[in-house]
Amino acid sequence: MIVSMNKVKLFFMEDDQEAILNELQLNALFMPDKKHFRQVNPSEDLIKVSKAISIVEKYIKKPMGNNETVSKLTFEKINEDSLLLVQEIIEKQDLLFNYEDEKKNSLLKYKDLLPYKDLNVSEKRLNELRFTKILIGKIAIDKFESFKGQMDSFGAFVELISTDDNFNYLAIICDIDQKDQLTSLLETNQFIPKTNELYEKSNVEMIHYFNESINNLENNIEQVKKYFEDISHELGNLKLLHDQLLSKDNRQTITFQNTKETLFVEGWVRSDQVDSLKHMLDERLIDYEIEVREPLNDELIPTALKNNKFVKPFEYITNQYSAPSSREVDPNPSMSFWYWIIFGIMMGDIGYGLVMVVLFGLALKFAKLRGAMKDLVQIFFLTGITAILAGLVFASFFGLTLPFYKPILDPINDPVPMLIVSIILGVAHIIHGLILKVINSVRQKDLLGGLSDAGSWIFILVGLSVFVVATFIPLGDLVSNILLYTSYVLMGIGVLLIITLNGREQKSIAGKFVSAFTGLYNATSYLSDILSYSRILALALSTAVIAYTMNLLGTMVLGSIPVLGILLGIVIYLIGHIFNFIMGMLSAYVHAGRLQYLEFYGKFYEGGGYLFEPLQLQLKYVYQVNLKENNKNNKEIN
């Protein structure tokens, strides 16, 4: 249901500002007005902690310290040692990057020198000769003989230092006066000169030096990585620190207005939690004054939902469409029931339903899910129950027909009864939506509009349903006649309501006539909406047919080849049913939602509201914060 809201103005002394913010955030009772919010960039400490967490997580095989439950006292106190550790981790990471860059550079120089290791003289000394020019480089093997001949003709001496699969590595010696001519000739022959820096020591000595340097750098890199592995036990504290700083940053987004002597903040509180807000502030011995009033007619009120454990997860489905308006009836209790039923029928298999119940039940128990993901998993768990029930009706277990009893409905062999059931569900679903439309109209003091837009069609649809029963079900002449005339009366009342009320705002007779005709023409849209529920049959049929086909293929392969056929058959069974299970769930999720959004919500739902989202702790890693210690009924934030 939608809980009524109160507008609250909270006054307090400036010295209590931080304490007020902490308590409001911890208890999640108060939603500040938008005028009290400001844009705040993430703090430098938060950015560093996020970076430190990502660094450490790269060096551990299994993430640790996630989804923990901590006490209020623990969460309120920031550990300074953790902040120092964050800085140390970032410095170590910078050091690691430096080591890796140095290793990369040393490795490049090492590889560049290897082909010239047999050059015994320092390259720098060779470059300083006064009368002779010595050029060192490489040339493609297929060009070497031609190149050597040209060098001999030119008068330059070519010494082959080493060779590999692609190049010959050379030293070319010529007179210093021939330098420019030689350079041009080398370019013509695509000679690639060695461009690295010149060393005082010989290449052999430098290769040995770089080799030792690379080994030392590798040892340093391993030590830093081991440091990250050794501090992995601190990951839980780092994640706690992250959520503490994230919540602190969230508090910084709230601004206060001030009177001459006090600060104040305006916002919304659920009417059933006003006393809790006062009690919370009293416990902290905070001096405050509070003004509480009912919302004004022109105020946009946030929507606070309060539903039982069954309905609450399905709020996610509604919020994906649009948050309810605070001034209309909560659609979730009604929608949750229909979604639960329709989804289960679309899956319609005992085996798939059992997989859903077990798989998502285990996820709920052990995965410590939160928010939208938790809601979605709960929805799949609950709809797994109706999938089992529908599977019992269809006598289907992973596409196999149960041998010990006859199915009540058989979508594959006899789809017509299943189609009739789908249409009946559709009519009931639409009538339910129209009833909620009437309730909303009464709330908004527009009874005539509710009777015209919804009440009329309730009479017509109920009348048509009674007519179908009287016409096609043998009930005896007397009962059939009573039902038949009853249907005429109901449909007549519905048509009369449309004719008399649909043009009530029109002043001219022509306008009233056109409005009445337009209202009656809506029968085509209602017929289209009802036929849309045939998708319940279509989805149940597709799930059953694909399961049956995979069983048939698996059975055919199973007996075709000795031993190998058994393995292939099992693979086909597994892959086929996993595919059908995933696609069946996806299709049921989408199409069950479509029936709610278009056919059901289209009859009464306004939406366009915004959810009541109080100032609260921002928990990315910490699973829960216990607000009361040594209390079996701990209140928790998660």
For the stretch 563-621, pLDDT in tens is 788 888 889 999 999 999 999 999 999 999 999 999 999 999 988 899 999 999 999 99
The CA-CA-CA angle for residues 322, 326, 332, to 5°, reads 55
Do residues 463 and 369 both lie within one domain?
no
Q: Where are the beta strands (DSSP E) in 141-278?
A: 157-163, 167-175, 192-193, 257-258, 263-270
Q: Per the domain annotation, does 162 fall within a domain?
A: yes
Do residues 453 and 354 both lie within one domain?
no
User: Which domain-ending residue is among 532, 564, 587?
Assistant: 532
Do residues 421 and 516 both lie within one domain?
yes
User: Which domain-ending residue is among 478, 513, 532?
Assistant: 532
Do residues 135 and 158 both lie within one domain?
yes
Q: Per the domain annotation, does 553 fall within a domain?
A: yes
- Tell me the C-alpha distance between 220 and 222, whole Å: 5
**Domain around 560:** 318-408+537-606
pLDDT given for residue 374 in this prediction: 93
- Tell me the C-alpha distance between 103 and 217, whole Å: 6
Do residues 392 and 339 both lie within one domain?
yes
Copy the structure tokens of residue 77: 């106190």
Is the pLDDT at 634 greater than 50? The verdict is: no
Q: Per the domain annotation, does 242 fall within a domain?
A: no
- Tell me the C-alpha distance between 381 and 362, whole Å: 10
**What does residue 125 show for φ and ψ, rounded to 5 degrees?**
-65, -40
Do residues 381 and 328 both lie within one domain?
yes
pLDDT given for residue 635 in this prediction: 44
Do residues 339 and 486 both lie within one domain?
no
Do residues 545 and 403 both lie within one domain?
yes
Domains: count for the chain: 3
pLDDT band at 195 (very low <50, low <70, confident <90, very high): confident
Do residues 376 and 327 both lie within one domain?
yes
Q: What percent of the chain has pLDDT over 90?
A: 55
Q: What percent of the chain has pLDDT over 70?
A: 95
Do residues 472 and 575 both lie within one domain?
no
Do residues 426 and 478 both lie within one domain?
yes
Q: Per the domain annotation, does 90 fall within a domain?
A: no
- Tell me which residue has tokens 């998502």: 360
- Kindly give the pairing relationship between strand 624-626 and strand 167-175: unpaired
Q: Per the domain annotation, does 381 fall within a domain?
A: yes
Q: Tell me: the pLDDT tens digits for 271-316?
A: 999 999 999 898 888 889 999 999 998 889 999 999 999 999 999 9
pLDDT given for residue 297 in this prediction: 86
* Direct distance between the N- and C-terminal alpha carbons of the chain, in angstroms, rounded to an integer: 22
Tell me if 595 sits within 8 A of 532, measured CB to CB. Answer: yes
User: Which domain-ending residue is among 144, 170, 201?
Assistant: 201
CATH number at residue 189: 3.30.70.100
Q: Per the domain annotation, does 49 fall within a domain?
A: no
- Tell me the C-alpha distance between 442 and 373, whole Å: 36
Is the pLDDT at 427 greater than 60? The verdict is: yes
pLDDT given for residue 193 in this prediction: 87
Tell me if 382 sits within 8 A of 388, measured CB to CB. Answer: no
- Tell me the C-alpha distance between 324 and 137, whole Å: 76
Tell me if 625 sits within 8 A of 70, measured CB to CB. Answer: yes
Cα-to-chain-centroid distance, residue 56: 24
Is the pLDDT at 369 greater than 90? The verdict is: no
Q: Per the domain annotation, does 337 fall within a domain?
A: yes
Q: Per the domain annotation, does 453 fall within a domain?
A: yes
Do residues 506 and 555 both lie within one domain?
no
- Tell me which residue has tokens 């860059």: 101
pLDDT given for residue 584 in this prediction: 94
Q: Tell me: the pLDDT tens digits for 490-538?
A: 999 988 888 888 766 666 666 556 666 666 767 788 888 899 999 999 9
